[in-house]
Chains A and B, each alone.
Chain A
Amino acid sequence: MIQLYHIELRYDGGIRALRDVSLAVDRGEFVFLTGSSGAGKTSLLRLLFAAERPTAGQLLVAGRNISRIKAAQIPRLRREIGVIFQDFKLLMDRTVHENVAVPLEIAGASRRETRTRVWSTLKRLGLGHRLDHRPRALSGGEQQRVAIARALVTDPPLLLADEPTGNLDPELARDIMDIIADANARGTTVIVATHDPSLLARYRHRLLELSEGRLVRDALPRGLASREVVGQF
């Protein structure tokens, strides 16, 4: 699903966000991306949905070479990727239903299909009673679930989550992670960026650790089948 070969990412001003990162993520995998603040987690996720282009190296996502992708092809790629942002990125002047419907409208879904999918997704996330509310009327946890619903409503093959539980209390964080794990169980490839050790301990999945832009660990939890592993935890 994802392949990185010697990826470099340098921002204007010379800041090197990623240095010589090589890795592969298979279809259906659940991967944690961890590291301290500024380690390059968000930069790596931004590369994956083509918000940035690598300065050097080759990057393939869902069969497309992001290093060479044409600007006109980026929207189509993004329609295959669900992204959950740390700051939710909800439209505050739209209802919950309208927020979740945005990717379906962009995909050109019919009204009936949009209504059905939005309703079933929100119901699955426990927000069936919040359809007509605006995000401001919701708690932080509910807003995050709306953002997740928007990312999942199109059943994307790839889900990227940037600190999805960053501002939530432990119980809500567990709820959110359960929803993401459920999406993975239904076949979606998931990459979650987090620096929360409790999540890593509770959900035992493959772990990629970045430090100063370098991949310093690629490990599977003990007891899981081995692949090309840099370490175990």
Chain B
Amino acid sequence: MRGRATRRLVTAGRNGLRGFWAAPLVSAVSISTMAAGLLVLGAYLLFVGNMRSVLEEFGSDIRLVAFTPEGAELPPEGAAALARDLVGVTGVAAVRFVSSDEALERLRGELGGDAAILEGLERNPLPASFELEIEAGGRSPAALEAIAQSIGQLRGIAEVRYGEEWVESYALFVRVAEWLGLGLGVFLAIVLGAIVSGTVRLTVHARSDEIQIQRLVGAGGLFIRLPFYLEGALQGGTAAGLAILLLYGVWSLGLPIVVEPLEFLLGPRAPEFFGPAQVLTLVLFGVGLGCAGAIVSLLRLEERP
């Protein structure tokens, strides 16, 4: 009995492959249309992926600086204890102590030729401080404000500063990029799903006689539906593979041309193509999309007696 069920599945799978090859023109049109859509999606994901890396780099530059009281002496053991307290604050990834001498040295370096104006100082006016690196999840304006408030309450900290305006602009940019990405992703998924659904519906229509005959001689729902699911999955997977190949070709040929003009946007780091995991995800997305399209297009078939 189990053997018969397996053989039925094998036959249904074979029928799916047969359907894939039986109407090569329909399959080719469907695959190329889907590949074009997935190419746009892939190009967009590549752009967003590289932009995200750039934004991550910008984000990692966000520093929160906690100053000790001006003129107060902070012995090394006191600095170490305070650093431990700071690391314990939620959202703080790392702490670096900057002594008042080191701060003065930095200022001297920044002033360069004008450093001579510091010579007249009777004492070092710069307070010691702690530079705090913030975890990726704590870089929103609200999270930074919360961290700053927690730190401001620690004994030994006089003032906390971070570039509020810069952080807000950065957060807005990230938010807009994410919403734009989500919107485009959903739009493309709907368009591609509709393409597959339409193609499978065409195939179902072209094979309506076969479906009718199969039903009349005792085929169950899965035996009839499975070939179409498989066909949709094959078309989606092939289209995704084709889109990735085309994208890689365009990437390899076009990158040297565009990398220089886009350096202002992408920064000095070289843009990266999809890794193996992302390629697999995109292919699986194509397969899933093909299956979903087939399922949607067969919903009405299910309702027939």
Residue numbers of A with Cβ under 8 A of B are 49, 51-53, 71-72, 75-79, 81, 83, 85, 89-91, 93, 102-103, 105-110, 150
Query: Which residues 176-221 of B sit at the A interface, judged by CB distance below 8 A?
Result: 209-210, 212-221
> Quick one: which of A81, A83, A90, A110 contacts B7, CB cutoff 8 A?
A110
| A residues less than 8 Å from B305 (CB atoms) | 51-53, 71
Q: Is the interface of B mostly helix, strand, loop or mixed?
A: helix
Q: Is the CB of B213 within 8 A of A102?
A: yes
B172 interface residue, CB < 8 Å from A? no
Report the bound CA distance from A80 to B209 in whole Å.
21
With a cutoff of 8 Å between Cβ atoms, the chain A residues found around residue B216 in the complex are 49, 51, 78, 83, 85, 89
Q: Render B213-233 as a binary contact track against A, CB cut-off 8 A, 1 for contact.
A: 111111111010000000000
Which chain A residues border B8 with CB–CB below 8 Å?
Answer: 105-108
Taken together as a complex, chains A and B put the C-alpha atoms of A102 and B144 apart, in Å, by: 68
**Residue contact B213 to A76, C-beta cutoff 8 Å:** no
Please tell me if B257 contacts chain A, counting CB pairs below 8 Å. Answer: no
- Determine whether the beta carbon of A106 is less than 8 Å from that of B219: yes
User: CA separation between A93 and B11, bound complex, in Å?
Assistant: 17
Sample of 19 further A-B pairs with CB below 8 A, known A78-B215, A106-B220: A52-B305, A75-B220, A75-B223, A78-B216, A78-B218, A85-B216, A91-B210, A102-B213, A103-B217, A103-B218, A105-B8, A106-B214, A106-B217, A106-B218, A106-B223, A107-B218, A108-B6, A108-B7, A108-B8
Q: Count A/B pairs, Cβ under 8 Å.
A: 66
What residues on B are CB-neighbors of A150 within 8 Å?
217
The answer to whether residues A75 and B7 also contact, given A89-B209, A93-B22, A102-B213 and a CB cut-off of 8 A, is: no
Instruction: State whether B209 touches A102 (Cβ < 8 A).
Output: no
Contacts of B11 in A (CB 8 A): 105-106, 108
Distance in Å: Cβ of A151 to nearest Cβ of chain B: 8
Most buried by A among B3, B8, B210, B216: B216
A75-B218 contact, Cβ under 8 Å, with A106-B8, A108-B7: yes
Does A108 contact B4, Cβ atoms closer than 8 Å?
yes
Would B214 and A102 count as touching, CB distance under 8 A? yes
**Interface 0/1 of B1-19, CB less than 8 Å to A:** 0011111100100000000
Closest to A71 in B: B305
CA distance A98 to B96 in the complex (A): 77
The contact of A89 among B6, B212, B223, by CB within 8 Å, is B212
Question: How far is the CB of B230 from the nearest CB of chain A, in Å?
Answer: 16
Bound-complex Cα distance A49 to B217 (A): 9
Of all chain B residues, which has the CB nearest A78? Answer: B218
Residue among A49, A76, A78, A108 with the most chain B CB within 10 A?
A108
List chain B residues, Cβ under 8 A from A49: 216
Shortest Cβ distance from residue A105 to the other chain B in the assembled complex, whole angstroms: 4
Residues in A neighbouring B22, C-beta threshold 8 A = 93
Q: How far is the CA of A79 from the CA of B212 in the complex (A)?
A: 14
Cβ A108 vs Cβ B5 within 8 A: yes
User: Nearest CB to that of B223 among chain A residues?
Assistant: A106
Residues of chain A within 8 A (CB-CB) of B7 are: 105, 108-110
Contacts of A106 in B (CB 8 A): 8, 11, 214, 217-220, 223
Least Cβ distance of A49 to chain B in Å? 7
Structural contact, B217 and A102, CB atoms closer than 8 A: yes
A110 to B7 Cα, complex, angstroms: 7
CA separation between A71 and B301, bound complex, in Å? Answer: 13
Establish whether residues A108 and B3, one from each chain, have CB atoms under 8 Å apart when the complex forms: yes
Chain B min CB distance to A121 (Å): 14
Q: Which residue of A lies closest to B8 (CB)?
A: A108
Please, could you name 10 A-B residue pairs with CB atoms under 8 Å apart, sorted by A? A53-B305, A71-B305, A78-B215, A78-B218, A85-B216, A102-B214, A106-B11, A108-B6, A108-B7, A110-B7
Task: Indicate which residue in B3, B6, B219 contacts A75 across the interface (CB closer than 8 Å).
Answer: B219
Measured CB to CB, the nearest residue on chain B to A108 is: B4
Q: Contact: B218 with A79, CB < 8 Å?
A: yes
Which residues of A are found within 8 Å of B219, using beta-carbon distances? 75, 106
| Shortest distance between the CB of A116 and any CB in chain B (Å) | 15
A59 to B219 CA separation, bound complex (whole angstroms): 22
Alpha-carbon distance A76/B4, docked complex (angstroms): 13
